[in-house]
Amino acid sequence: MKTSDFDYNLPQEYIAQKPVEPRDSSRLLVLNRQSGELTNRIFGEITDYFKPGDVLVMNDS
């Protein structure tokens, strides 16, 4: 396997130039590992996927 196997074209207009406001409305792509289904959500809904004992670590640097 080569790193070039992971090269892909990403049009400039798909690259965020500034953070979205409000910040928790940023996009979140969720993978259901059992079914392989991908779902588009917003980051503010991330806790919908937490189970008791899960931890979310955020870096605000």
Q: What are the domain boundaries of the chain?
A: 20-44
Give the whole-angstrom CA distance, residue 21 versus residue 43. Answer: 12
Give the whole-angstrom CA distance, residue 56 versus residue 48. Answer: 12
Q: What is the 3-state secondary structure (H, E, C) of 37-58?
A: CEEEEEHHHHHHHCCCCCCCCC
- Six-digit token string for 6: 């992971």
> What pLDDT is attached to residue 51?
94
pLDDT in tens, 3-48: 999 999 999 999 989 989 998 899 999 999 999 999 999 999 999 9
pTM over 0.75: no
> What pLDDT is attached to residue 44?
94
Closest of 37, 38, 40 to residue 26, by C-alpha: 40
